[in-house]
Chains A and B, each alone.
Chain A
Amino acid sequence: MSHPPSGIAQAPATVPDDRGYFGAFGGRFVPETLMSAVEELSQAYADARSDRAFWAELDGLLRDYAGRPTPLYFAQRLTSLCGGARIYLKREALAHTGAHKINNTLGQGLLARRMGKRRIVAETGAGQHGVASATTAALLGMDCVVYMGTEDMRRQAPNVDRMRLLGSEVRGVNAGSRTLKDAINEAIRDWVTNVRTTHYLLGSVLGPHPYPMMVRDFQAIIGREARSQVLEAEGHLPDCLIACVGGGSNAIGLFYAFLHDPVAMVGVEAGGRGIEAGEHAARFADETRGRVGVLHGTRSFLLQDDDGQVLATHSVSAGLDYPSVGPEHSFLREQGRVTYTFATDQEALQAFRLLCHREGIIPALESAHAVAEAVRRAPTMSSEQSLVVCLSGRGDKDLATVMSAGGGQQ
């Protein structure tokens, strides 16, 4: 194998360690009431992880129920418009429920059943993880309660209806900025109260160990598929991978199978109304407000004020509107293995419209952040090069937001 190009470090083979640390990030910062539960979950997941029958059942569901593998699509008209690298889209939006979230909910759902838990609680921002959780609960015959900030219920109303139709209870959360962070607080409070009967189906690579590792493992199928698909299409590895990063599960999912390959990787945070204004969810880009801290059970980069109070965030996309980020992303950034950038609300909306008009694909506003970066980056690359964008979800849920932001006009 050839040496990797400069600037691409090799990631260590095994993270996290036994205590759930990715270098200096991760860990288990939870109330004592939950410690036995996370220890039990770690043990149950360790058992399942080495059980071929568990993976065989999951693979069967991912294929027959969720519709995997999802296609890797060469976006010819977008590529010719940008005039540079060949752009491929990993079409997670075509998985059942319209986003990558189903990969994780099916995995954790089977694990919850294995642990004898009959009730699931979940948080949701954009509603995609909530819908995937509600779907999994219906499939496996479990009770499901989804916590969602009331601001997010307003802007992602179609997903609230979907969750209720699927038989789940949606509980609105009025605290704080009434978005994803507040929904997680409330889901954790429910878990603390009902921990003996309830599994917390966390939707991203966040939270106490083992969640960041476990959710990564369940999402890693994105990159495993994409890697073999792009090798078949191009005959060699791509030059760059791009994914949006809220908590960061679709990004880790795409990146993980390529970590030891000479492939550049870019995570795209929500730039909101701009970094200087402070109205964003760019934990890495904002060097003043984004500092290492502890929230929701894990140590990672966190948008906070000088006194350690967590700051309100803003993004046009509810799924990226969160003040912290998965600890493995903080680690990969520190290692220099992944580069992080941001796209503003306006750039994401432009990319949304561009993909609609140019490719006939309506992306989730979250995924549109990754598309925005692809549109910036492709022209700087040669037509011999290729890049893979994770199109993590579909945008039906975002129509009201996009139309009120000026509709579908270019």
Chain B
Amino acid sequence: MGAERIGEVFVSASSEGRAAPTPYRVVGYPTVDRSVELAQAALANGADMLELGVPFSDPLADGPVIQRATQVALEQGATVSRCLEAVSALRRRGIVAPLVLMGYFNPIVAYGIGAFCRDCSEAGVDGLIVPDLPPEEAGELERSCGPVGMAITYLLAPTSTDERARLVAARTKGFVYLVSVTGVTGTRDHLPARIAEFVERVRSLTSKPLAVGFGISSPGQAHQVAGLADGVIVGSAIVRLAGEPDGLERVGEFIAALRRSGVRT
């Protein structure tokens, strides 16, 4: 079952005294085939789990780097079906790590919610993150995910009230995705000043694993987050490297550095 598989990643990383690095990749950037190779390279270099971005024309929670990559991916024909094929391809290559799809809700609605969950499960997807779908609107998706054992992971933000934090913590599967900043995705020079306070606030409300994402772009920042949380999600910084001509090597090196920096001191 997806939720258990995802949860185990954090348990085993924690037993090794480190936070689990979780890279985010846009499927179809720079091309569909290349994004499969990049995903494989990320896992070979120490990623515990992968978040695969399903492109959407209007990514309103994303900053410029992921917006641009999304645009390229759509031009490359990265439809929902092609994203599922990419997951199947990774499984055929022997990838056993949890694979989570992150994408906006409308392409899922257009695909058909029931069919989407069934096909995700068949392709080997363990879970879903849908940034514009709060738990209040996710009833239908949850009912379709449940029978096929797929997790839906919800997000919390610094602006979330304790009441919302309890709701999200109760409904989320696998882990809680903590949005580090009040803002959109994208690299930032510094971690937000009150990140520790935010993580501790959620920690006091749930025993589920906590992974922090949005704005984490260097091994140094990842090291700071590793002292607080169970997982470190890195998106824009990796997407940017993936677009370089020697992207495969650079993404691999970067993830290896993230993995080393995730060890708690």
Binding site for B on A (CB under 8 A): 19, 27-37, 39, 175-176, 181, 185, 188-189, 192-196, 291-297, 302, 304, 306-310
Contact = CB atoms under 8 A, between A and B. Distances in A.
Contacts of A293: 106, 109-110
A286 to B, nearest CB: 15
A35 to B, nearest CB: 5
Interface residues of B, number: 38
A308 B111 contact: yes
Contacts of A296: 58, 60
B103 to A, nearest CB: 10
A189 B184 CA distance: 6
Given A176-B57, A189-B184, A36 B110 contact: no
A131 to B, nearest CB: 24
Contacts of A192: 60-61, 182-184
Nearest to B55: A309
B12 interface: no
A167 to B, nearest CB: 26
A36 B80 contact: no
B108 interface: yes
A36 B159 contact: yes
B60 A35 contact: no
Nearest to A306: B110
A29 B137 contact: yes
A31 B132 contact: yes
Contacts of A185: 58, 60
B182 A309 contact: no
A36 B134 CA distance: 11
27 contacts: A27-B137, A29-B137, A31-B60, A31-B61, A31-B131, A31-B132, A31-B157, A32-B157, A33-B61, A33-B179, A33-B182, A35-B160, A36-B164, A39-B161, A176-B58, A188-B60, A189-B184, A192-B60, A192-B183, A193-B183, A196-B159, A293-B110, A296-B60, A304-B106, A306-B110, A307-B79, A308-B109
Contacts of B132: 29-31, 294, 297
B182 A193 contact: yes
Nearest to B167: A35
Given A37-B159, A309-B74, A310-B58, A196 B184 contact: no
Contacts of A36: 157, 159-161, 164
A33 B168 CA distance: 12
Pick the 9 closest A-B CB pairs, nearest first.
A308-B110, A308-B107, A33-B157, A193-B183, A309-B57, A307-B79, A32-B155, A310-B57, A31-B61
Contact of A294 (B79, B105, B160, B184): B105
A34 to B, nearest CB: 8
B110 A291 contact: yes
A158 B111 CA distance: 42
Interface string B153-180: 0111111110010001000000000010
A295 B179 contact: no
A303 to B, nearest CB: 11
B79 to A, nearest CB: 4
Q: Which of A31, A37, A192, A307 has the most CB of B within 10 A?
A: A307
Interface string B126-139: 00000111101100
